[in-house]
Copies of this chain bind each other. A is one copy, B any other.
Amino acid sequence: MPDSIDNLDAVDRQILAELQSDGRMTNVELARRVDLSAPPCLRRVRRLEEAGIIRGYHAEVDPVALGWEITFFALVGLESQKQTLLQAFQEEVKQWPEVRECHMIRGGGDFLLRVVARDTAHENALTNRLTSHATVSRVQTLQTIHTAKQVPGVPLEM
């Protein structure tokens, strides 16, 4: 099981900030920025990876260029808060490739999903599939028309 090193120092935090903003930076460049030579810098990166603090590295791809014209969020309410039903719903949507995120919401029985769709027809089909799911009582669709800010991860500058 991963997670947590007792103390992340300022250098670790700076490494995380740099890699969060440019995940493909070479280790030599990273070392230069955090004012270390390459080997100890690389050791720190490996330690952060192994501790699960760095979970992975991802290219950020333009959805529209790939034919995913629509991004929407769905606020889904279930009929009951029974553990087994909550579980069943999550297992179901985990299988759908169009569902990219599924968050359980505090207060019981609600989920917030981030979903992508090729077009309006596809979006409707997905919403209907959600609505007609046995455990679902209510679906509110929040379609994104403009994204004013989208910064990956968490603040590290502070």
Contact = CB atoms under 8 A, between A and B. Distances in A.
A101 B148 CA distance: 8
Classify chain A's interface size.
35 or more
B142 A61 contact: no
A3 B63 CA distance: 11
A103 B142 CA distance: 10
Contacts of A52: 62, 65
Interface string A1-35: 00111001000010010011111100000000000
A149 interface: yes
A60 B153 contact: yes
Given A105-B144, A143-B105, A20 B59 contact: yes
